[in-house]
Amino acid sequence: MDYVRYKGSKYFLRNGVLNLSNLGIEDITLIRGFENLGNIRELDLSYNEITEIKGLEDLTQLELLNLRLNQIAEISGLAQLSNLQYLYLYNNKISELKGFNSLSKLVELNVFDNRIQKISGLDTLKNLKRLYLGSNRFHKIEGLEHLYNLEFLNIEKNFIMELQGLDSLKELILLVLKRNKIQEIKNLDHLIKLKRLNLAFNEIHQLKGLANLKNLDTIDLRGNPVYNQEIEWKSKMIQIKFLDTRELVNFCQMKQN
């Protein structure tokens, strides 16, 4: 049987993907038949009214779980999903990062636009490559020490004042910190593979702290006091492209699922 039932209707698994988005679902346990979906790889529960992650214990082969735009307040119920690689929880009501202990295969985590105040609970995600933490309530960059394989990090639209806590991210290629309260570029020397840096709309007055970033080829400083200053720093760094277009925004655009 390659389908589940919800409120009398059947929803079929197609090429390993089950789409249950925008059905007004409040309780996942009311969906019948998950135990029969041995071939499911992707589950889309986005655009519902789900308040709690539960009832997914039988989906042990699941690789992608989309729970964006729900009413989830706590990350739980994922312990059996040890094959999960992509987890989308953006636009919920989550206040704490936790519940990831068994998700060692996770490659991408998106908790954009929640209510999280502290970066924590990520220590077991050693294979994580892409992390989206934007539009939360962070005042400090921390809790990233064990994300050795991280290549993309987005912490835009928070309340961060200082660049710190990034030393172990030696594989990082793209860093997005636009719309924070950062005043100085510093503590980036260990990001030896960094190619693109978005610091738009912060409070940066001086261009410094970039000398050791040998692979940096694009930086976005729009909306900072330093950007409009008539000084020589642009000519001294002609190898770096300063964005005036939407290029970096497009580059950072997350694949929607």
Architecture of domain 117-247: Alpha-Beta Horseshoe (3.80)
Look-up of token digits 């889309």 = 44
**Interatomic CA distance for residues 80 and 71, integer angstroms:** 22
One fold for 1-96 and 117-247: yes
**Interatomic CA distance for residues 123 and 147, integer angstroms:** 7
Helices (H), the chain: 233-236, 247-252
Match domain 1-96 to its CATH number in 3.40.50.300, 3.40.50.150, 3.30.2130.10, 3.80.10.10: 3.80.10.10
Q: In terms of Cα–Cα distance, which of 10, 105, 114, 6 is closest to 62?
A: 105
Domain residues of the chain, as ranges? 1-96, 117-247
Q: In terms of Cα–Cα distance, which of 167, 164, 173 is closest to 217?
A: 173
**Interatomic CA distance for residues 157 and 172, integer angstroms:** 20
Residue-wise pLDDT for 2-51, tens only, equals: 999 999 999 999 999 999 999 999 999 999 999 999 899 999 999 999 99
The two structure tokens encoding residue 174: 């793209």
Say what the pTM is: 0.90
So what's the pLDDT on residue 55? 97
So what's the pLDDT on residue 242? 56
So what's the pLDDT on residue 233? 53
Residue-wise pLDDT for 97-144, tens only, equals: 999 999 999 999 999 999 999 999 999 999 999 999 999 999 999 999
Q: Which class for 178: exposed (0-12), middle (13-18), buried (19 or more C-beta within 10 A)? A: buried
**Reported confidence tier of residue 241, pLDDT bands at 50, 70, 90:** low
The DSSP code for 29 is: G
